Amino acid sequence: MTPLQRVIKENNTTLNPIWIMRQAGRYLPEFREIRSKNPDFIKLCLNPNLSTEITLQPLKRFDFDAAIIFSDILMLPYGLKQKVEFKKNFGPILGKLNLNEISKVEEIDFVERVQQIYKAIKNVSNNNILKDKNTIGFIGAPWTLLVYMINQQSPKKQLKKDFFENKDLINNILIIIEKFLKIHIKNQIDSGANLIQIFDSWAGLLENKDLPYYVYNPTFNLVKFTQSLNTPVICFPRNIKDYKRYCDFIKPDAICIDYEVDPLKIEKEISIPIQGGMDPKVLLTDKENIKKEATKYLDIFKDHPYIFNLGHGVLPETNPEMMEYLVKTVKDY
Ligand code: CP3
The full DSSP string for 87-123 is ETTTEEEEPPP-HHHHHT--HHHHHHHHHHHHHHHHH
Order across the sheet with 66-68: list the strands.
66-68, 134-140, 195-199, 233-236, 254-257, 274-276, 306-307
What per-residue confidence (pLDDT) applies to 161?
A: 82
- Provide the residue ranges of all domains of the chain, joining segments of one domain with +: 3-332
Give me the CATH topology for the region 3-332: TIM Barrel (3.20.20)
- Ligand 1 touching residue 91 (CB < 6 A): yes
**How many angstroms separate the CA atoms of 235 and 140, rounded?**
10
- Ligand 1 touching residue 117 (CB < 6 A): no
What per-residue confidence (pLDDT) applies to 202?
A: 96
Q: Do residues 331 and 325 touch, judged by C-beta distance below 8 A?
A: no
Nearest residue (CA) to ligand 1, atom 18: 199
What per-residue confidence (pLDDT) applies to 162?
A: 87
Pocket test for ligand 1, best of 19, 20, 21, 22 (most atoms within 8 A of CB): 22
The pTM of this model reads: 0.97
What per-residue confidence (pLDDT) applies to 245?
A: 97
Ligand 1 atom nearest the C-alpha of 58 is 3
What does the CA dihedral 245, 250, 255, 256 come to, rounded to 10 degrees?
A: -90
What per-residue confidence (pLDDT) applies to 20?
A: 98
What per-residue confidence (pLDDT) applies to 238?
A: 96
Helix (H, G, I), strand (E, B) or coil at 210: helix
What per-residue confidence (pLDDT) applies to 160?
A: 80
Chunked into runs of 10 residues, the chain (333 residues) has average pLDDT values of 97 96 97 97 98 98 98 98 93 95 97 98 97 97 97 85 91 97 98 98 94 98 98 97 97 98 98 98 98 98 98 98 98 95
What per-residue confidence (pLDDT) applies to 158?
A: 74
